[in-house]
A and B are shown apart, each in its own frame.
Chain A
């Protein structure tokens, strides 16, 4: 017979069950067990265990013991906690303010960052089919060297994928266009605008991507070749309050010439969409254009291809078929070049979070988001540390309260509950305050990233975040002080032995942590701003100041446009405020005209490298003041000159041309054509300083009709612009006059870095502010604790400055230690970040020393206010009452 009941069940029972019920329960259970054992020992064991489980009821559990057995007393206890907590808050209003406000700022920063991260990760999720939609990226591999992946593909790719791969449900190709759009509302009442964001798409576009319709039937809206779909704001621009459906609009310029009938109106594209278009037209007209009619579907990489997979198909299975597909469809063309193509699928929802692909404008890397997430955690930690520090620093003050309570008979657990209760209360108040702060802070962040961010209070996750933050906050910041405060020994405390105790070294460590974190943030902000300033002010080898850029006439046929521009050029050149004028196919910061395959004449096709080509007129190089290191500019009088090419220094090495002088004797094969080199230019930064100098070629054209650059004199800019505007409008009527300054548009390339810097700066400021709040509280407290010491010192002859230094020293020491910790960390972080820029600032000592000095100064000011106040107090006042 098995006499002993199951060990584990018994252990478990003893663990959870209240002591005062255990005699009865365990006793009865054991007695029953022994009786049941007489029948079947194994069944008895099961029965025992099963019955034990049944006692998992609140009334038997230790966990709920207090609240159950003394439920009446407990309510008054809670009332008492409330009273005490509020009294404590009021009694030390400054401390309470620091605590609550500091915590609120921390939680607010956290909320705002969470919202930001949530927004950035929500891109394209509004698409019902988001999970099955992918974009095709291609990577060109030549001589085993992988070129950077590209999203631009040929128009043959989509249909070929749909025929060859059963996984593909449908393909969607898009092609960006711009055009001049006219709507004739009536006699002499035409509305004409330049539309830059036209997207020509397959009719499947609106079946795959789900946008909200205001009018029209979306799935079939693009089925007609002359259908046009507008977004709400564009529709309003042309039609006002009138119903746009069925109205006819004329598009002139580009490849989408013709009249179109409005078939649907979309709500404006959601902010979190990677598509940025105002108008949709069918791809039909584009494919009918001469350029693509002469193309077999595999030549011009001007399309972005998306595919939607069938419901059961996974990305993996589809991608596994790509190598074979490439081999059959794409690679034969590249065989002679010792090159091949690799395709892969990029999930729609990843597009926004995947920077670095050519053709993507607005992206943010996951790394950046993690980084901001980390900052959020740091800021909240700093705020919690404040609470811990201030509460434990005040321990001495409350020690008497604890001592008396203990003497009367309070359990330690009750004291812990009381202090936790206070921290819950403070965290709750500060969370409320934080929501208010966050609502005001969010538009600031929204301005920085150029989006409208608002809290959706209907979003459950927001409530979870709030609840989580306040509960975790209450525990994280409350547990340690609660244990420290409740641990005081009665005798020691009531004797009035106010020693500093063990809490202090931890407090120091926490302050060091706060300041190290703040310092890293300050240094980071500092470096980001320096780098952006450097990129903007660096000599780019191009004349960028006072350079006005006009868009060429898009409505006119190419030949007419050339003639008109010729006249415009001559007339504008003669204006008094104009220094120079030139036309080109693109301007600095605005990309290139052609990413061409280029090799030196006489080398095999395997030597092909890619280079950027821009068409310019002979005035372009002088207008932009680019320095020649060899050769000469295009001469419009010499025909052979106009068929030549001018290269940059970077091309020399890339195409193996030797020195600049040697290069002048060489020829380049650009695409299919051969051109002799007549000039070599000093390297210049055509695009962002993030990227290094790349091979860049100028081809000549008498007039390039896309962009007009005008170098104007600084003091007469408005008058000059007005004069040009007038000339332009009389010469080319019906064409909108729109201008930019090239340095503005060039600097727009740094937008994401500037955003990064601004967000960084915003939160660094918050972190420093919270840390200083804490330091301030701590300083005022230590000073008030040391008043007696100060008094005695003063009586004995210490000078005020001596005392101030004495008190300040310990705080500045902490900042110094923090600096030593922060230094290597920030060095490492900065170095990593700067590696992402081809042209970047050096790691000078002042990058590190200045933030330390700034932080020291802030800390010094914060602390000295309190310390000086203490030091100048009359000692008689303090020492009187002993």
Chain B
């Protein structure tokens, strides 16, 4: 059976795909991630993550129109699937649950 786990970086990319909604394609995801996370990523890492998640069925893709700045290549847009959203929700819930287990005391810094 296929691996249905969601890696840390994959989760980030998946969140970004969901957030960007209709505008999620390689460069857009990269740039939003870089601004949000304040660090550099390599586009290939994004592509690999996207491909894996597509294989797992978390996201689906469609091609956009040809634009000039892309050397005549189409954009590949990604949209999160219902299943992907469910996985994301589960992940979120799990995190929240775990977060709530933290005792309410102040931590020394």
Residues of A within 8 A of B (CB): 4-5, 21-32, 34, 51, 54-55, 57, 59
Contacts and interface: CB of A to CB of B under 8 A. Distances in A.
Given A4-B71, A28-B47, 8 more contacts: A24-B73, A26-B70, A26-B71, A27-B73, A28-B27, A28-B70, A30-B70, A30-B71
A27 B71 contact: yes
B63 interface: yes
Nearest to B78: A24
Interface string B54-85: 00000000010000011101111000000000
A24 B27 contact: no
20 contacts: A5-B71, A22-B73, A23-B73, A24-B73, A24-B76, A25-B47, A26-B73, A27-B26, A28-B26, A28-B27, A28-B47, A28-B70, A30-B70, A31-B27, A32-B30, A32-B43, A34-B69, A54-B44, A57-B48, A59-B51
Contact of A51 (B43, B51, B70, B73): B43
A24 B71 contact: no
A24 B42 contact: no
A27 B70 contact: yes
A291 B61 CA distance: 100
Contacts of A4: 71
Nearest to B44: A54
B42 A51 contact: yes
Given A31-B27, A32-B30, A24 B47 contact: yes
A22 B75 CA distance: 10
B64 to A, nearest CB: 9
Contact of B69 (A22, A25, A31, A54): A31
Nearest to B51: A59
A27 B30 contact: no
A28 B51 CA distance: 14
Given A5-B71, A32-B27, A32-B30, A27 B44 contact: no
A32 B45 CA distance: 14
A34 B71 CA distance: 10
A24 B66 CA distance: 11
Contact of B74 (A23, A34, A54, A55): A23
B45 to A, nearest CB: 8
A27 B75 contact: yes
A34 B73 CA distance: 14
B44 A24 contact: no
A5 B69 CA distance: 11
B42 A54 contact: yes
B54 to A, nearest CB: 11
Contacts of A51: 42-44
A726 B48 CA distance: 96
A23 B75 CA distance: 7
B34 to A, nearest CB: 11
Nearest to A56: B44
Interface of B: 25-27, 30, 42-44, 47-48, 51, 63, 69-71, 73-76
B51 A55 contact: no
A342 B47 CA distance: 73
Contacts of B75: 24, 27
A4 B72 CA distance: 12
Contacts of A29: 43
Given A23-B63, A59-B51, A28 B74 contact: no
B81 to A, nearest CB: 18
Contacts of B63: 23
Nearest to A28: B26
A29 B73 CA distance: 10
A456 B94 CA distance: 60
A28 B71 contact: no
A32 to B, nearest CB: 6
B76 A27 contact: yes
Contacts of B44: 51, 54-55
Contacts of A27: 26, 70-71, 73-76
A4 B69 CA distance: 10
B69 A28 contact: no
Given A22-B73, A23-B73, A23-B76, A28 B48 contact: no
Given A23-B63, A24-B47, A30 B42 contact: no
Contacts of A26: 70-71, 73
A32 B69 CA distance: 9
A24 B26 CA distance: 7
Nearest to B29: A28
A74 B32 CA distance: 39
A4 B76 CA distance: 21
Nearest to A10: B71
Nearest to A4: B71
A51 B63 CA distance: 22
A580 B107 CA distance: 120
Which 8 pairs across A and B sit closest by C-beta, in order of nearness? A27-B73, A28-B26, A24-B76, A54-B44, A27-B70, A30-B71, A23-B74, A23-B73
Contacts of B48: 57, 59
A30 B69 CA distance: 7
A21 B51 CA distance: 9
B20 to A, nearest CB: 14
Contacts of A30: 69-71, 73
For B26, B48, B70, B76, which residue has the most chain A Cβ atoms within 10 angstroms?
Answer: B70
Given A24-B76, A51-B42, A31 B47 contact: no
Contacts of A28: 25-27, 30, 43, 47, 70
B25 to A, nearest CB: 7
A870 to B, nearest CB: 57
B18 to A, nearest CB: 19
Nearest to B77: A24
Nearest to A59: B51
A30 B73 CA distance: 9
A23 B70 CA distance: 9
A32 B74 CA distance: 14
Nearest to A34: B69
B51 A31 contact: no
Contacts of B43: 28-29, 32, 51
B65 to A, nearest CB: 11
Nearest to A29: B43
Contacts of B47: 21, 24-25, 28, 55
Contacts of B73: 22-24, 26-27, 30
Given A23-B63, A23-B76, A59-B51, A31 B70 contact: yes
A22 B76 CA distance: 10
B72 to A, nearest CB: 8
A67 to B, nearest CB: 14
Nearest to A68: B55
Nearest to B48: A57
Nearest to B76: A24
A28 B63 CA distance: 13
A25 B75 CA distance: 9
A454 B74 CA distance: 65
A55 B44 CA distance: 7
Contacts of B76: 23-24, 27
A55 B51 CA distance: 12
Contacts of B27: 28, 31-32
Contacts of B74: 23-24, 27
For A22, A24, A29, A31, which residue has the most chain B Cβ atoms within 10 angstroms?
Answer: A24
Contacts of B26: 24-25, 27-28
A57 B75 CA distance: 21
A29 B47 CA distance: 11
Nearest to A50: B42
Contacts of A31: 27, 69-70
Nearest to B75: A27
A751 B73 CA distance: 77
